[in-house]
Amino acid sequence: MQILDSPRPLPADVPDQGFPCRSCGTPLRFSMVDLGSSPPCQNVVQPEDLRLGETFYPLHAFVCHECSLVQIDEVVPPEAIFQGEYAYFSSYSDSWVAHAERYVEDVTERFGLGPDSLMVEIASNDGYLLQHAVARGIPCLGVEPAANVAEAAREKGVPTRVAFFGLEEARAMRADGLEADVIAANNVLAHTPHLNSFVAGLEVVLAEGGVATVEFPHLVELIDNNQFDTIYHEHFSYFSFTAVQRVFARHGLTLFDVEKLPTHGGSLRIYARRDADASKPISDRVRALEAAEQEWGVDDLATYAAFAEQVRETKRGLLDFLISARREGKTVVGYGAPGKGNTLLNYCGIRTDLVDYTVDRNPYKQGTYTPGARLPVYDPSMIEETQPDYVLILPWNLRDEIADQMAHVRSWGGQFVVPIPRVEVF
């Protein structure tokens, strides 16, 4: 099988190679970037398993020439990623919890939520968002597939259903009498391989006059700012406003407003309502973003053509820095063990010969090893104990928050490094 690195079609003599677009069903034949193979990014390797092998899966993003959705194949079943013991807990990011609190304040005021309302969050994680609804006396419900994370939410007083959300679960919720005045779905749309089922489920659970808000990293930012490490097996799809608008329209939902957010390197928050709900007119922000994406070239395959080489050059630049630092006798450690960090480490082939270890605030990850790269993960106090020359911030979207938390690194002359959009020492 020949795979191309620019968005040109696969050869005519292999017409059945493309998997169907999960939005419109068109066979995918245009490659955007091939990141090789890596294990699922939220896996952790326990010390007793260091002598065992790991399963590596292809990580290759394609773009649909019909609806412009960028996506990877479903090579890792979602049940293998999200069910059971899941390692990501949202509450370990202070800035993300604060972002969630502002969201609850905003939608409460804008849509008049109160004790007779119902707020539902899809992929509610450890209750990082709905805890703020509980504090305001707004009835709420989380839907979360990972049992260990859902239990952490319940301990915060957040009622939580352990389930994958989709059309079947939505119908079950409706049968239980649940109708949401506001649905929040933050950074989950990309995580579902069953995109049409997910969006159809939103329409089923939404009350008459209700609003669904969905946040996701913006594909325009991913490409323009070289955020290739946000491509990993948990993220099945990568959305422009144009592509997501087409999915929602297919299921009777109109996007009537949109906001640009700084989170995750640049995200969108879309506001959806039923097509028949004329009380919420389409905003000027929607029209402006539609036009901006067309000017950017969202439906032009040439827009995606240069991305693969851009990614390769980023890899070369990071490896040049790490190799030079080692040759100069400098020590480099990581901060964070996020999904994006594991994509970066595995694509670049970074192991302990270049980065000694990494640290993470999440106790669930401490004492383990990162998947594939096998970097040991410690408590952040290890950095003060070893006083490295450089701290490589793997969750670069939190660079300022982490640099503030770890300001003492500068007391021994240490410096911070971010790898995206290019290597920067500060």
What are the pLDDT digits (tens) for 137-148? Answer: 999 999 998 888
- Whether 365 shows a pLDDT value over 50: the answer reads yes
Six token digits for residue 283:
């905003």
* In the predicted structure, residue 84 carries a pLDDT above the cut 60: no
Res. 5: pLDDT tops 80: no
* DSSP code of residue 20: B
**pLDDT value at 83 more than 80:** no
Distance CA 173, CA 162 (A): 12
Least confident of 13-22, 237-246, 316-325, 406-415: 13-22
Q: Is pLDDT at 198 greater than 70 in this prediction? A: yes
Ordered alpha helix ranges (H), 214-300: 219-224, 241-250, 284-296
Average per-residue pLDDT for the chain: 92
Residue 11: predicted pLDDT: 38
Measured distance CA(319)–CA(351) in Å, rounded: 11
Asked if pLDDT for residue 94 goes beyond 50, the answer is yes
| Consecutive H or E run containing 174 | helix 167-175
CA 232 from chain centre, in angstroms, equals 9
Q: Is the pLDDT of residue 369 over 80?
A: yes
Query: CA 343, CA 59: separation in Å to the nearest integer?
Result: 9
pLDDT at 264: 82
Query: Which of the four pLDDT bands, split at 50, 70 and 90, describes residue 91?
Result: low
In 3D, which of 155, 364, 135 has the Cα closest to residue 144?
155
pLDDT score at 95:
83
What is residue 319's predicted lDDT score, i.e. its pLDDT?
98
Is pLDDT above 70 for 180? yes
User: What confidence tier does 78 reach under pLDDT thresholds 50, 70, 90?
Assistant: low
The CATH fold assigned to 308-425 is: Rossmann fold (3.40.50)
| Cα atoms in the Cβ-side hemisphere of radius 13 Å centred on 336 | 30
- Which segments of the chain belong to CATH 3.40.50.150? 90-304
Considering only residues 197 and 78, tell me which one the structure prediction assigns the higher pLDDT.
Answer: 197
193, with CB counted inside 10 A (0-12, 13-18, 19+), is middle
More confident residue, 376 or 18: 376
Give the percent of the chain with pLDDT over 70. 92
* For residues 155-184, average pLDDT: 96
Confidence of residue 90 (pLDDT cuts 50, 70, 90): low
The two most distant CA atoms of the chain are separated, in Å, by 66
373-402 mean pLDDT: 96
Give the per-residue pLDDT at 146: 87
pLDDT band for 41, please (50, 70, 90 cuts): confident
Mean pLDDT of 68-78: 85
162 has a pLDDT exceeding 80: yes
Residues 25, 66: Cα–Cα separation, whole Å: 9
Q: Residues spanned by CATH 3.40.50.720 within the chain?
A: 308-425
Q: Which CATH architecture has domain 90-304?
A: 3-Layer(aba) Sandwich (3.40)
pLDDT at 79 over 70: no
pLDDT tens string 296-333: 999 999 999 889 999 999 999 999 999 999 999 999 99
The yes-or-no verdict on residue 268 having pLDDT over 50 is yes
Q: Does the structure show a pLDDT above 80 at 12?
A: no
H/E segment holding residue 189: none
